[in-house]
Amino acid sequence: MTKVRTRFPPSPTGYLHIGSARTALFNYLFARQHGGEFVLRIEDTDRERSTDEAVQVIMDSMEWMGLDYDEGPFFQTQRFDRYREVVNQLLEEGKAYKCYCTPEELTKMRELAMEKKEKPRYNGYWRDRTDTPPAGVEPVIRFKNPTTGAVVIDDAVKGPIRVENSELDDLVIMRSDGTPTYNLCVVVDDMDMDITHVIRGDDHVNNTPRQINIFNALGAKLPVFAHLPMILGEDGKRMSKRHGAVSVMQYAEDGYLRDALMNHLVRLGWSHGDQEVFSMDEMMKLFGLDHVNNSGAVFDVKKLDWLNQQYMQSASTETLANGLTTHLKKAGIDFQSGPAVATVAELLRDRAKTFSEMAEGAKPFYQAPTEYDEKAAKKQFSQEAGERLQTVHDNLAALEDFSPEAIDATLQSTVAELEVGFGKIGLPLRVAVTGNTASPALDQTLSFMGKEAVLARLVAAVQYCRSL
Ligand code: GLU
């Protein structure tokens, strides 16, 4: 049996789009599941739009996603000699020809076709000509597409798609400056790299019949084609920046766990019963093209947030601590002199949807509030609250052991001493130490912040209250 070989061939023209990431994941899973190989190919023939930075972004994204490839990255720009060789072969075999039409002639051809209400297409003018070509015109090279019959794509997702050859024209495979075009390069690469399965977005489905004809002209074995449904935003339109981040690395930046994003991506177009949560191992076991559906897949950010929270809750302390460290650094928070990041991460584990949220929640453990949340301060701070906080301050100051248990006991006895409900102390105290009323358990929060920090923040809050 031939070994399964899939490929991921992004064009390095910007960030790695979330749709491309899904394509990469499906190809990766399919290869791994079949004990096959996964190839990374950089399609950088569009030299004006391709940049080194974008290549780097692709590499970084692949690494962050953990989609390790067995071969590559291959760069198409390093394979120009090979493409030329194939074009020459097609020319020699009479399967391609030089076309000397000028841009003006092509425009006229298009206009004429439109007047006749026909598809604007190349009419094969130079296909069978034997007369002398015009002087001074560098020809393009066109592929001799069959004129009769039809191409049938036996699509593993969409089922058979039949396209009449009369619908296709003789496409340019090499421009007049000698650079090969996308459809030629892809076929030569997929052939040379022994790709058995081409799994890609269905925005390419129109290219496939043309590519199949080129495969056939080269006598190459056809790969299996599988075209994936587009990723849509919640309004049913094609996923774009309007709907949320579209760059893979933005999700890393925003503090999502890679496993959560991969889980979210695998469900875009593929399902396994009602199951929503899949580990990478499970995905590898269960994934199959037979359960990829044909209709657009909606990228629901709320679902991703939910998944991320699931993964945060079950992540190891180390994963949490690493994630939080990265995002504290990003937020410019100095965490050297506060409680251990792992301790804070554990405390916040169930409260944050992403690491950036967690970093935000961790801030008070490392920094005194620079200002109080307006609403919280208005509600919780007053002259009387200031006096209560002064008592809390004095009682906590007397503690030698600043453990959660000791703090809890002190707060309870302060409540009894002042004869107020716990909220009368607990809420202003939260605002005093964190700037807001939302924080994890108070006893642990205070204990991890440390006595010195807590007392200093209480002094500041008392002062604030007295000034009201
Ligand atoms: N470079 C193409 C793209 O990024 C690849 C298309 C293909 O998979 O053949 O869309």
pLDDT at residue 464 tops 80: yes
Catalytic residues, which ones? 241
- Give me ligand 1 centre to Cα 138, in Å: 28
Least confident of 290-299, 362-371, 379-388, 428-437: 290-299
- Whole-number pLDDT of residue 122: 92
Q: Which residues on neighbouring strands pair with residue 81, listed in sequence order?
A: none
CA nearest to 185, candidates 67, 74, 99, 97? 74
**Using CA atoms, how far apart are residues 431 and 437, in angstroms rounded to an integer?**
5
The atom number, within ligand 1, closest to the CA of 203 reads 10
For atom 10 of ligand 1, the residue with the nearest CA is: 10
Q: What is the pLDDT of residues 60-70, one digit of tens each?
A: 999 999 999 99
Is the shortest distance between the CB of 190 and ligand 1 below 6 Å?
no
The atom number, within ligand 1, closest to the CA of 7 reads 8
Instruction: Please give the average per-residue pLDDT across 178-184, as a whole number.
Output: 96
Q: What is the pLDDT of residues 259-276, one digit of tens each?
A: 999 999 999 999 999 999
For atom 2 of ligand 1, the residue with the nearest CA is: 10
What are φ and ψ of residue 152, in 5° steps? -115, 120
**Structure token pair of residue 12:** 């390095």
Angle 468-442-352 (CA atoms, 0-180°, nearest 5)?
105
In the structure, what pLDDT confidence band is assigned to residue 295 with cuts at 50, 70 and 90? confident
Is the shortest distance between the CB of 9 and ligand 1 below 6 Å?
yes
- Whole-number pLDDT of residue 118: 85
pLDDT at residue 299 tops 80: yes
- Whole-number pLDDT of residue 121: 87
Question: In 167-299, where does DSSP find H-type helix?
Answer: 182-192, 208-217, 248-253, 258-266, 280-286
- Give me ligand 1 centre to Cα 60, in Å: 19
* Domains of the chain by start residue, with CATH: 1-69+229-314 (3.40.50.620), 81-174 (3.90.800.10), 316-365 (1.10.8), 374-466 (1.10.10.350)
Best probe residue, ligand 1, of 23, 47, 186 (max atoms within 8 Å of C-beta): 186
Strand-pair category, 150-155 with 159-164: antiparallel
Is the shortest distance between the CB of 19 and ligand 1 below 6 Å?
no
For atom 5 of ligand 1, the residue with the nearest CA is: 9
